[in-house]
Amino acid sequence: MTDLATAPVADLIAARLTEALSPSALEVINDSHHHAGHMGDDKSGESHFTVIVESAAFAGVSRVGRQRLVNQALAELLATRIHALAIKTRAPGE
């Protein structure tokens, strides 16, 4: 597994979501530059992200349930390296 302390956070996010949700589409956007100097900015340039995930795992799952699945997959990163995460989810065909 990739070293949590040194690997680019976007790469870690993509790897964890791919493993947990087998997405048919995945976009990881680093929004950190929009938050420079704000609370939660750790000066790493890797603290604020948006993920857009399409996965069959979301079929029939509520919006809150989908967010929980993403948060579970990223729990360790959310506790250590991600300050803020915006989540957009959809099932195939939505």
47-69 pLDDT, tens per residue? 889 999 999 999 999 999 999 99
Q: What residues form DSSP beta bridges with 29?
A: 50
- Could you tell me the domains of the chain? 9-90 (3.30.300.90)
pLDDT band (50, 70, 90) for residue 83: confident
Element (H, E) at 64: helix 63-73
Tokens of 93: 């065909």
Closest listed residue to residue 70, CA positions, set 48, 53, 93: 53
> pTM of the full predicted structure?
0.85
Exposed/middle/buried for residue 55 (C-beta within 10 Å: 0-12, 13-18, 19+): buried
| Token pair for 21 | 């949700």
